[in-house]
Structure 1
């Protein structure tokens, strides 16, 4: 191998791209898992179209998977060190992400006249047309024909053979990054173990791809990514945000001593939560796939009234449909967890893309004065923590809680240390006891916290009426009295507001002596922290306050915000959190907004902050 010496680096970004049927998600996932098992931190970004299957070779059907491997990883990365393009349409969609002098591995068999015309190229040289000729390191590989040659004699039809070319590319990438082939083959065995013929074919192709790299005579460096050394001892796994959310719900049910019930309806990008929970019947999980979004949340309300830990999951369009039933949960004071995995909107919008555009809907999107607790996860792995926290708040305060994640978190993966159940916080549901039995009704509550003592259906001695009509604050009978209604509105608001006494104080990261404070919430934490760190590295003092608790806000929020001369609110919408903050904590807020269906770009944030 006439290659340069190994390029030892702290981190590297790889992006795989091709047609939706080229297996880019699987290829990226296998490489990510391989990197994690070898001691690297990872952050992934699956990026795929909403079309069931766009015409092959068109820009509309390109699927991508980006992974950032190394140590101190907070984001999937702005630019790719290595781009693998399975066809010329994939290159056209993704070429801008490849950094200067990055490595481009491409399938020469797919760069013919027919495919270039289909992808919309105007010349016969895509690299010159895209301005790449002198700015990248080209690695042309006949992925398709080499795969066909590798599988000669396997008795597979050509279509099935060509579908294996992603494994040839993965074998080549394993060589490029000095990854052990044996471990990669082990992961492949886990994936295709029940399909021995397919496993044998893909293993052969991956091995040939690895060996092909060894025999290349290229003047490029292979990569050696330093392993992370600071990881605490424990058992680790790769976990996607939606799976972490599901596991957090299961853990909360165990800690609360309740059975878990999910009433839901399939919707991108939240459906994986339902899939994961449906596979956990052995852990006592009950899942109802309802006929629509409204039925899903209503079955959850019924399950909560019957004493289960009840959850419904959805995305933005479904949250709109569930709003009336969530209002019933607020009025009837029933514990409920609503999970909103946000996507691009409005309406059907961009089903597979990410945004933070449901925030104000989550806070205010119901008729009447209808407060809910709203919290947001900020990484794929801490979706577990905030799913657990949402359940704890709902059960201990007898309120609906809306947990916000998004497509970026839900589909993305991270290295996660599995917690022990005994180390998780205790959950004490605010359930009625014998001390509340005398004259019990639906308004029997703790007068300090305003939390009602919850009696589920069938509790002996706690027969009571409950519904969505306003009720008398003392007798719980139906009431249309104006003064009583005002008192009940205040009671429901106070019950949500007092949750601020139970949540952590807001903390500040970065330079504590800075004059500029960056504010973010939810999934943008990794990008904003990276931007703040870069600002401090170049001598531009900067701090970050990131919010996971939205309604109510942490009690010290105003104290922190008002310390800073410049406050910049950064979010993936047109300024919803900034608008909310202005209503809660009057201050002068600058805004940095992006609504493109994609996560933030750290470099672009830094460029903006440098202008302030």
Structure 2
């Protein structure tokens, strides 16, 4: 079946000002289940395709299953996109997208004075404020007077946009509110919808109801931006003017580790063995290496961190270029095996992908 990419939303006829900037830093923050990594990733991909340089900083919570609505349970994604070369993800965001009170409280100190805040007002109830440690509602007092605040009932608007989808629970609809806010931010920064719509069609090809729900939410967010009077300015960041001809690829730090490990093994003339236990945010290293078996790469998904470390020790002892990766909790579990490797003077690589 031919792939159909829906066209971008049409321009609004209402009056709003246009502003051009050379760079913008946006921070997306919400609960671990709010899809902030996906939202930030899609905004980054679209900006890269449009010719901007991009630099990102995913912020994964260190705690395992921290309570929803609390600061320890936040997941964030900061993206810096510009018309010139970038070398960092930016120091202070100019725009904060806060999906709940905890996201606002945790990230407000980093926001530039006078910065823009898009905040989901629905969780600002007694329970949500208490979980975040607020004694009063910051949306109702003067604590945000120095910022450009846009209160948006994201949860309610997303449910309304998906109201006529039969058999879809409110819980399932709420999972699409990240698509709504992504569409809104796309309008704010003059980004097209096409690439994300195509992404939905590819990623959820076997689940047409998910494609439909996310597509509706994305477009609803875009149209909300162009029709809501609260948004009076659309910002554009021009593409880079001087770019050497060639093929470019956006990669993450984990992607770079995958390429580096395979290259090192090939140059050393040794097979690469990678043993690990899946853990966010290190799992994509295992996924990336598993796709490169034609380069004499052997991957092993262990049943736990301890056995993963044991497999790497064995591979190193047998003469392979041996490597493993994990995050904070996993590194702690691997520590005894790491000490054994040190005592035995075995060369191996341990990657700590920090949260």
Query: How would you bin the TM-score normalised by the shorter chain?
Result: 0.7 to 0.9
Shift of 1:37: 1.0
Is the Cα–Cα contact under 8 Å of residues 62 and 72 in structure 2 kept in the other structure?
no
Q: Give the Cα separation in 2 of the matches to 1:325 and 1:132.
A: 53
Tell me if 1:122 matches 2:135: yes
Structure 1 residue ranges without an equivalent (≥5): 331-335, 344-351, 353-612
Cα contact 1:104–1:138 (8 A) shared by 2: yes
1:7 aligns with 2:19: yes
Residue matched to 1:193: 205
Q: CA deviation at 1:210?
A: 0.6
Length, aligned pairs only? 334
Instruction: Compute the displacement of 1:219 (Å).
Output: 5.7
Alignment of 1:50 with 2:62, yes or no, is yes
Secondary structure at 1:205 match in 2: helix
Aligned to 1:324: 340
The structural deviation recorded for 1:339 is 3.4
Provide the C-alpha distance between the structure 1 equivalents of 2:105 and 2:205, rounded to a whole number of angstroms. 35
How far residue 127 of structure 1 moved from its aligned partner, in angstroms, is 5.9
SS in 1 for 2:108: helix
> 1:286 offset after TM fit, Å?
0.6
Q: Give SS of 2:212's match.
A: helix
Cα 1:93–1:226, aligned 2, differ >3 Å: closer, same or farther? Answer: same
Partner of 1:151: 162
Where does residue 105 of structure 2 map in the other structure?
A: 92
2:240 maps to: 228
**Is the CA contact (8 Å cut-off) linking 2:23 and 2:80 kept in structure 1?**
yes
C-alpha distance in 2 between matches for 1:233 and 1:267: 38
With over 3 angstroms needed to count, the CA separation of the structure-2 counterparts of 1:342 and 1:192, relative to structure 1, is: closer
SS in 2 for 1:6: strand
Contact 2:324 2:350 in 1 (8 A): yes
Question: CA distance change for structure 1 residues 273 and 100 in 2, over 3 Å: closer, same or farther?
Answer: same
How far 1:57 sits from its partner (Å)?
Answer: 1.8
What do the CA deviations read for 1:218-272 (whole angstroms, capped 9, x no partner)? 3632111121233322222221111211122223434555432224455665443
Deviation per CA, 1:364-421: give whole Å up to 9, x if none. Answer: xxxxxxxxxxxxxxxxxxxxxxxxxxxxxxxxxxxxxxxxxxxxxxxxxxxxxxxxxx
Q: Could you say which structure has the greater relative contact order, defined with CA pairs below 8 angstroms and 6 or more residues apart?
A: 2
Deviation at 1:294, TM superposition (A): 4.4
**1:301 corresponds to which of 310, 316, 319:** 316
- CA deviation map 1:507-532 (0-9, x unaligned): xxxxxxxxxxxxxxxxxxxxxxxxxx
Deviation digits for residues 334-361 of structure 1, max 9, x if unmatched?
A: xx44133264xxxxxxxx2xxxxxxxxx
Closer, same or farther: CA 268–256 of 1 in aligned 2, 3 Å: same
Please state if 1:76 is matched with 2:92: no
- Aligned ranges 1:575-586 → 2 under 5 Å: none
Q: Equivalences for 1:290-439 in 2 at 5 Å? A: 290=302, 292=306, 294-304=309-319, 308-314=320-326, 317=332, 318=334, 321-329=337-345, 336-341=347-352, 343=354, 352=355
Q: What is the CA–CA distance in structure 1 between the aligned matches of 2:184 and 2:261, rounded to whole Å?
A: 40
Pair member with larger Rg: 1
Query: What is the TM-score with the length of structure 2 in the denominator?
Result: 0.85
1:103-128 CA-partner distances (Å, limit 9, x unpaired): 11111222223322332211234463
Superposed CA offset, 1:454-485 (max 9, x none): xxxxxxxxxxxxxxxxxxxxxxxxxxxxxxxx
Verify the 8 A CA contact 1:294 1:325 in the aligned structure 2: no
CA RMSD of superposed structures (Å): 2.4
Counterparts of 2:231 and 2:177, CA distance in 1: 24
Q: Is the 8 A contact 1:296 1:312 kept in 2?
A: no
Contact 1:303 1:310 in 2 (8 A): no
Larger deviation, residues 204-213 vs 221-230: 221-230
SS in 1 for 2:34: coil
Partner Cα distance (1:53, 1:236) in 2:
37
Deviation at 1:80, TM superposition (A): 1.3
The answer to whether the Cα contact below 8 Å between 2:276 and 2:286 also exists between their aligned partners in 1 is: yes
